[in-house]
Amino acid sequence: MTGLLAIFIAIMRRDLRVAMRQRSDLLNPILFLLVVITLFPLGVGPGPDVLSRIAPGVIWVSAILSALLGLERIFRDDFRDGALEQMLLLPVAVEWSVLAKITVHWLLTALPLLVLAPLFALLLNLTPSAWGTLWVTLLLGTPVISCVGAIGVALTVSLNKGGALLSLLLLPLLIPLLIFATAAVEASATGLSPAGPLALMAAIMVLTVVLSPYAVHAALRVSVN
Amino acid sequence: MWRWLHPYAKPEATYRLNQKMLPWFAVPGIVVLAVATIWGLAFAPADYQQGDSYRIIFTHVPAAILSMGLYMTMATAALIALVWQIRTAEWAILAIAPVGAVFTFISLFTGAVWGQPMWGTWWVWDARLTSQLILLFLYLGVMALYAAFEDERTGAKAAGILALIGVVNIPIIHYSVYWWNTLHQQSTITKVITRFEKPSMAPEMLWPLLLNILGFALIAGTLVILRLNNQILQREVRRPWAQAILSGAIPASQAANTGAANTEERG
């Protein structure tokens, strides 16, 4: 068990260190998110009531799109320099290594998003009573984006031009997440209880975190062979 | 069972089986579909509320049922391809996907055409419609992923994994009308089979509908058989048995009886 934990932590530390040496890669998705959110008030008009009505959807759609930008980093560089094959040869179940990489991806992309979420809510004039719910939906939903995204990247990593294909594969799978997240935020914005959609999101989160490493493993075996 | 199934891992055996089954799907399929469509459109009574508009269900419901059925068939083929590494199952994924995508599109299109006069809108974002749209995207994703790889075996495996992941969507589609308050009505036929309830539909309408479902299923089978056989011939074009059929030396219908000689050929 200690060996497993040691390898899990070693992979996390390595991935974090690699990411820290390419900081612009980390910053760009979150800047992209900020710019997209700035575009909406300009596009649909800055009326406060219009903005507060579309805010949950806009924040969530932008979050998903910006997550897609940085997603390929999970496996792409490791695939190119051969580190991925070494990871598959480690003396632990590949699922654990995959989970470590997914965790790092979540730390690097979702944490900034969670920190900045109140700013986005403020910019889009979201009803203050819904801020907490928005934050909880992001907390529950971003691991799902990282996990499902890892499956997509693992499937397309050996392709040279996987970018557009990756969006085509992943966006349909993320639609349920978007539906429940916006439903929860809208419920609490109108004074209703968001418990139902939040419970469903939590269930989806637990299922994907537990099951997706197996799918990623199968997909990597196909891509690396 | 394995002893019976195992020969069909060989493309040639599958091709022969398909050729034998093709007339049993194609002929009844065309007859049943023609009879049921004419029955449904011309002889079934009009609905007391919707008038003649309801008749679109004779296309809409079978297409929707088959879109999900074909997806499950494709996912089963994907599972077999991934677990037992059988190439014919990989080709079956590609044979089924476009047929399923077209059926999904037909169900969405006929639904929109019916929804315009009945609901007053072409499209609503209710759970049933949205999940069916996701099904269409899944089919398209499987096809796109398959096509993106240069090595077709890798492409087939990747597409197979995606197809298996997408199975999550099938129960969502089926139960969406019960789990959410949808504009789309609840099912009329399934409860007859699963709960032995009386159908909420007059028998004069139910029978042509059931016949149409059978007809659609037979036509779907025909299309998949044709596509799969095309795939097999394309991939195996250099093998002697395929060349014998392609050059017309053996008529395809008789190939089933004569081809035992070159069973040593391996893929």
The alpha-carbon gap from A151 to the nearest alpha carbon of chain B, in Å, equals 9
| B241 or B72, greater pLDDT | B72
**pLDDT of B83 higher than 90:** no
The domain that contains B64 carries what CATH number?
Answer: 1.20.120
pLDDT at A199 over 90: yes
Q: How far is B161 from chain A (nearest CA, A)?
A: 7
**Alpha carbon of B150: minimum distance to chain A alpha carbons (Å):** 9
Within a domain: residue B264? no
Residues of chain B with pLDDT > 70: what percent?
87
Average pLDDT over residues A183-206: 89
Q: Give chain B's domain count.
A: 1
Look at residue A37 and tell me whether its pLDDT is greater than 50: yes
Note whether residue B59 is domain-resident.
Answer: yes
* Model confidence band, residue B190 (pLDDT cutoffs 50, 70, 90): low
Instruction: Name the residue range of residue B61's domain.
Output: 13-254
What is the rounded average pLDDT for all residues in chain B? 82
Cβ-based contacts of B145 with chain A (< 8 Å) = 155-156, 165, 169
Confidence of residue A222 (pLDDT cuts 50, 70, 90): confident
Residue A166 pLDDT exceeds 90: no
Residue B267 lies in a domain: no
Choose between B63 and B173: higher pLDDT: B63
Tell me the whole-structure pTM to 2 decimals: 0.81
Summarize the confidence of residues B175-196 as an average pLDDT: 69
Does residue B104 fall inside a structural domain?
yes
Please tell me whether the interface predicted TM-score (ipTM) of this complex is above 0.85. no
Give B 157-176 residues with CB within 8 A of chain A: 157-158, 161-162, 164-166, 172
Instruction: Mark yes or no for CB contact B161/A215 under 8 Å.
Output: yes
* Per-residue confidence (pLDDT) for residue A175, from 0 to 100: 85
In a domain, B136, yes or no: yes
Please, which pLDDT band fits residue B194 given cuts at 50, 70 and 90?
Answer: low
pLDDT digits (tens, 9 = 90+) for B117-167: 888 888 887 778 888 998 999 999 999 988 888 888 888 988 999 999 888
Segment of A71-85, A142-156, B46-60 carrying the highest mean pLDDT? A142-156
Work out the percent of chain A whose per-residue pLDDT is above 70. 99
Q: Is residue B4 part of a domain?
A: no
In this prediction, residues A134-142 reach a mean pLDDT of: 93
Q: Is the pLDDT of residue B261 over 60?
A: no
Instruction: Tell me the pLDDT tens digit for each residue of A54-103.
Output: 888 889 999 898 888 878 888 888 888 888 888 888 888 889 999 999 99
**Tally of domains in chain A:** 1
Does residue B149 sit at the A interface (CB-CB below 8 Å)? yes
Confidence at residue B267, expressed as pLDDT on a 0 to 100 scale: 38
Which one has a higher pLDDT value, B54 or A210? A210
SS (H, E, C) chain B: CHHHHHHHHCHHHHHHHHHHHHHHHHHHHHHHHHHHHHHHHHHCCCECCCEHHHHHHHHHHHHHHHHHHHHHHHHHHHHHHHHHCCHHHHHHHHHHHHHHHHHHHHHHHHHHHHHHHHHCCCCCCCHHHHHHHHHHHHHHHHHHHHHHCCCHHHHHHHHHHHHHHHCCHHHHHHHHHHHCCCCCCCCCCHHHHHHCCCCCCCHHHHHHHHHHHHHHHHHHHHHHHHHHHHHHHHHCCCCHHHHHHHCCCCCCCCHHHHHHHHCCCCC
Instruction: Supply the range of the domain harboring residue A146.
Output: 2-224
Rounded to the nearest angstrom, the gap between the alpha carbon of residue B188 and the centroid of all alpha carbons in its chain is 21
Residue B143's pLDDT is what? Answer: 92
Q: Is 80 exceeded by the pLDDT of residue A198?
A: yes
Separation between Cα atoms, residue B77 and residue B90, nearest integer Å = 7
Mutate to test the interface with B, among A153, A222, A223 (most CBs of B within 10 A): A222
Average pLDDT over residues B184-197: 65
B237-245 average pLDDT score: 83
Residue B51 lies in a domain: yes
Please report whether residue B6 resides in a domain.
no
Q: What is the pLDDT of residue B177?
A: 76
User: What was the pLDDT predicted at B193?
Assistant: 59
Q: What is the pLDDT of residue B184?
A: 80
